[in-house]
Chain A
Amino acid sequence: MKRRRDTLDNDGLKSAPGSIDVMISLADLYIQNNLLDQAVELLSGVYSENPDEPRIIEKLIELYILKGNETKAKILLQQGLSVDKNYEGFQKYMKLIEEEKTADRIREVIAEAVEATEEVIPLEELEEAKTPAEKTAEEQVEKVEEVEKPLIEVPEKEIEQKVEEEAGVDPIKRVLSALYEIDEVLGMILSDETGLLIAENVRVTIDTESTGALLSSIYTETVSTLERLNLGGFDYIIFEFPRGVVLILASPPIILTVMCKKDVQEGLLLLKAKSVMDELKNMLGV
């Protein structure tokens, strides 16, 4: 990352609109798989570089609500409203909070009304008066009511993905791991055009964040060179180093880097990587 910072001005550090979309899609995937901490970590990084981006703030608000940290959600909402008070996403959460306040007030009114009742029957007497069947039924109702209804409901269609997560499978890593069908593949890094790490799946010890950033820097240089040589838009790069091969595939705003042993069959690698890239594009909606 540092090298990117050396070569870009402050504006250059901000993620491109397409990259924001990818990060939000990825965060959605994490949310669908109940990987809330990963989603917060991902978006916090993007937020630190894009503090005025309403979509990132909105998604972070959603995340903190899901995590049950309403204080943080409200602080972020205030921040969001100061950025754009008319932004639809912020208005939505304002309404939710207002409704919640109304509900609290209603509960308070009911409590006040109960306290004001002149004839109060002791709870013990009421319990004794119930039949066993009534008690059992009420216990069941209480158990159901104990389940806190989240502010944002997760659609049923995502249950299947949640099951996968419970089995310890990250959906993006799962797609990336298809490349391990090629024995010589050592790892993959998925980053955005600015070098921000989206996901990694590596079998070797490397600093994936730095590597992704460095390779995206080479990619950026290559794109401009292809244009100047009238060779058209970027398709891919293969680097044959003395001890290994690196493939970089890009479909803006995402960049897939695959690291392999020296003796990999490059044609097979390219075909497989393109297929993985297509699947990732569909998954991330880019």
Chain B
Amino acid sequence: MAQITIKDLSLKDCNLTERATELKKAYFRAMPEVCVERSGLITRFHLENNLLNKDRISILDKARAYRFVLENRAPIVWHKRSYQKGMTPFEFKDNSFFAGSTTSKFKGVPLYPEFLALTLWPELLGISDRARNPFYLGKEDAEDLNLKIFPHWMENNLLELARKKYHPPEMKILERLVFFLASKPNCISHTIPDFSKAINKGLRAVIDEAKEKGAKATDAAKKEFYAAIPEALEGIIAYSKNLAKKAKEMADNEPDPTTKKELLDIAEVNNRVPELPARSFREGLTTIWLCWTAIHLENPNVGLSLGRLDQILYDLYRKDIDNKVITIDQAIELISCLWLKIGDHVPTIPDAGEQLFGGTGSNQAITIGGVDKEGKDAVNDLSYVMLRATELMRLRDPNLNARYYHGINSDKYLRRLCEVNVNTGATPAIHNDKAVIHALTKKGDKLEHARDYGVIGCVEPNSNGRHYGSTASILLNLTSALELALFNGRHRHTGMELVISKETGNPASFASFDEFKKAFEEQARFLIDQSTKLNNIFGRIHQEFYPTPILSALFEGPMDKGRDIIQGGAVINSSAATIIGLADVADSLSAIEKVVFEEKSCSFEKLIDAVNKNFEGSEALQKRLMNPDKTPKYGNDDKLADANVKWIVKTLDRAFGEKESYRGSKYRVGYWTMTNHAGFGRLMKALPSGRKDRENFTSGITPVSAVTPVLTKSLNSVAKQPPEYLSGGVALNLKYTPETGDMEKMLDNFAASVKGFVDYGNGNGTGGMEIQFNVTTHDTFVDAVKHPEKYPELLVRVSGYTAYFKDLNPQMQKEIIDRTEYLLSKGNYVYYEPFNL
């Protein structure tokens, strides 16, 4: 257990240095630029080595491809210019402690033609000018993509390889887009690598270990695996040494002695790590940074996460502080520079994707605090240093997640987490260790592994660096299961002529609520069956065409098993789905139960007719359905409503849990929605809950907005849901009015609300799993819609990840504005009229 030596936990006397301030300014000024370096080099290697249009690609060939890219990419120590709004160039001074970048640009958009980069093809001529989130793309680069890169991947991207090889009928359901989405055609990702070996032993030691194990292996597949690891890691070492060489060249020509020294320092650090063990905090951070850039050459960054950095780096930090090698201010400056580097790229998203996922970063989560493997307090000085850097930088990426074990972690720590939320408006998210550890052990994780969980992407807990949980394999729109149950296997979006699934009967003929629940469960199971089958096909395509030597080298398990993580090499394996529309479906079920079957005040036929007409002519019914005093609504500590939520999460956990993944493991389920609740909401018609056509669904595990007036009741409804059914992670989004007049009181109330949530006496005594906040006034949000230029750094929690409000699409902005807002001093919500777009 680390001793806390920092006296003022807020570290309020530590501020941003000039270096961090200037780099941050450039960061916010810069527009993302499409980078063709990776896609060009990877295409060239595949063509020169005849790897395309084959039945498989071996892990050794992939490792050689990444080595080629890493050895041949430009070693950019510091950037000099970028593009600003209006796509005009600007120059700035880059003097980061960390050389290199994810792309060849200061803020780049890496392209992965093996995955979904080709979706950008139609936009190449106009992507610099598109209305929302434009990417700068030079004419020559656009021409290279059009003529030299994309054509070679038309038959060789993973989505089309799956279609050609397996002809999956489930693909038609996927391509309707309204039932579920699959992430595997877009990424491996959604996991946390293990950096500890790279930091403590160095990559040279891993290479030697692989060679030794390869020499002893008799199995051909294992031999190939162990041969691939050195290839990939030599590439990372080469990239670092190329950066060192370049820094030395720059230093030789640098007249300013301060800058010269900084360049020589970079050269020295990069010459050593990640090849050899890190000796200092800075070398540890550099090791992580260089491994991270290499992982991103292999894996599109969709929720790839860095894990428990305050634990992994603590010894190096402690040693440097104790030996007075660095001060706390310098540590914060180093971390601030690393945070900026981590956010140096944005994901590739086509225009329509912006409407579903608009404003998303790459969701790189970092985890701090909680308990260690033995269950002891793991919060240390570095946890507070990282909190302060986060508070000062207010960046979208990385997405900071704080673990909190009530009774083990201190009250002061919790209060500090609340304070940073107030000061940043949106971060960190708070995870209840007791509930999460319970959920993971119930899925079979060893206790010490469960205690060592890190948060992935948005909110998903997996054991740090040893669990490949592929946590966003499936994004399932649960309201589509409800739709299929309401309309006898048909969906209003795809037309009533088309029978999508099994006909479960006309609900008007059902004699009981249980009959309807049965129909709903059957339709949900249909979608689960379709989506898991398709996910397994995509998983096999990964195994055949996209081995991952870099990620496997930096993971616990593959080196022992001699097997890639996508082949099941990790210590713990699972796949996971996340559910969109939980509260909307639960409230619909409750409405049906109460109004149709209990009270019999409205027939099922009449209810279906009303939703079909978007409640036109049935306004009184709609009003009644939306009224929590008359119709049970989740989020009011209402027995009937909360029981329906519990039934849903239990049913889905069981149904997914029965499915086996392509890696021989089971599926887990989570409730976090990114921006999908707005995207799917846009496609879906009215529901029995009283929600009207095209309105947003509710995010994550959060109750529906504006129907939950009392904060404690809302928290209780969520906290009582059993964590064992929520092992894929949940996002509870709350909005608090900033009451900065009496900050101390605000923080007391804030912390009390979290304690009440995590301490809720549900069956297992675990409390609710996760809670995250927006602490910004309604008026500020409304003004930010009108004047986005005034709020470039306005940070918000979406459903899991953090985003800049200005980058979100209008529907998502509305969803955040309309979320229930609570006044902590009163414990009640503040009512606002729904925001008009």
A binds B: no
Which B residues form the contact surface with A (CB < 8 A)? none
Which A residues form the contact surface with B (CB < 8 A)? none
